[in-house]
Amino acid sequence: EVHLVESGGGLVEPGGSLRLSCAASGFSFSSYSMTWVRQAPGKGLEWVSSISSTDRYIYYVDSVKGRFTISRDNAENSVFLQMNGLRTEDTAVYYCGRKYSGSQGIDYWGQGTLVTVSS
Amino acid sequence: NFMLTQPHSVSESPGKTVTISCTRSSGNIASNYVHWYQQRPGSSPTLLIYEDYRRPSGVPDRFSGSIDSSSKSASLTISGLKTEDEADYYCQSYDNNTPYVFGTGTKVTVL
């Protein structure tokens, strides 16, 4: 059974940093692209960043370019999101997701981790 | 880039049918697959429909997806509405520049 478990969220002041982790199990992690999606309180889903299976291809939404860095460790079956220069508008639940093996969709999601940026 | 616009909310009685539209602002809706997700209150999203109309195993056939190129829209139809279908629903597509574009989301209320 596929499991994705996020961790690393918390309360941080504006300008601060956090590193989110997503531990994967139940599938051949190194064969799948992974993605981060966030959801601000009471709002809709927003794609944040994606990384291909061998990290050859990396993408970011414009609002986080230069501040967030996605990475993965296939030996540890984990994907990470390093978030620097955090802003209040980055406050959200951050979900880790596995890209569907066919087209560009997400077939499994984690339970999410809450990031709160506030002074 | 393009946007996907959904109605903010829809409501209907149990046993009835609701249809949620997802309109693409530019480009051809049929050029890239559309996926649909269900997010129940307090839970993570789950994949409901993939590649326009396909259902993952375990998703009841009460849920169906379609594409209408003439209206630049995708649709999610829920028939035989049940109270457990009360949730937020999101469409999602992509293009060469953006791997994931989510719709604005629709709240379904079962009266």
CA distance A53 to B27: 28
Sequence-separated (6 or more) residues with CB below 8 Å from residue A24: A2, A3, A4, A34, A77, A78, A79, A96, A98
Q: Are A70 and A49 in contact (CB under 8 A)?
A: yes
Contacting residues of A for B35, CB less than 8 Å apart: 100, 103, 105-106
**Residue A106's pLDDT is what?**
96
The whole-chain average pLDDT of chain B stands at: 95
Residue A102 has pLDDT above 90, yes or no: no
Query: Looking at the predicted structure, is the pLDDT value of residue A22 above 90?
Result: yes
A22-26, A53-57, B84-88, range with the lowest pLDDT: A53-57
Confidence band of B42 (pLDDT split at 50, 70, 90): very high
Q: How far apart are CA B8 and CA A41, in angstroms?
A: 16
Do B62 and B79 touch, CB atoms closer than 8 A?
yes
| Average of per-residue pLDDT across A9-30 | 97
Predicted confidence at residue A104, as pLDDT, reads 86
- Chain B positions contacting chain A at CB under 8 Å are 32-33, 35, 37, 39, 44-47, 50-51, 56, 88, 90, 92-94, 98-105
Residue B4 in contact with residue B104, Cβ under 8 Å? yes
Give me the pLDDT at residue B65, please. 97
> Mind listing the pLDDT tens digit for each residue in B43-84?
999 999 999 999 999 999 999 999 998 888 999 999 999 999
